Amino acid sequence: MTHRLDWKHVIKSLLEDENGQDLVEYTLLMAFIVLSASAIFRNGGASVKTVWTVASNQLVNAATAAS
């Protein structure tokens, strides 16, 4: 007795089977959120450095003027 694989049946069952679909969707959503957040933080680092430098310079100027 030989077992013959019916490819039409295999493909049809794969397309109709929804087990694990939620996991894939949530994984893709999480990957999108992580990539978006990393892009925001990467670009935001320069802005934070600029704000910190300006504030530091103003404090130094204020301390110099007060002396």
Condensed to tens digits (0 to 9), the pLDDT of residues 18-51 reads 777 778 888 899 999 999 888 888 777 778 888 9
Residue-level pLDDT at 34: 92
Q: Is the pLDDT of residue 3 over 70?
A: no
Q: Is residue 61 part of a domain?
A: yes
Counting the structural domains of the chain, the total is 1
Top-confidence residue, 41 or 4: 41
Beta strands in the chain (DSSP E): none
Residue-level pLDDT at 62: 92
SS3 20: coil
Within 10 Å of residue 55's Cβ, how many Cβ atoms?
10
Q: Is residue 28 part of a domain?
A: yes
Q: Is residue 6 part of a domain?
A: no
The structure tokens 């933080």 sit at: 41
Mean pLDDT of the chain: 83
Residue ranges making up the domain that contains 45? 22-66
pTM of the model: 0.42
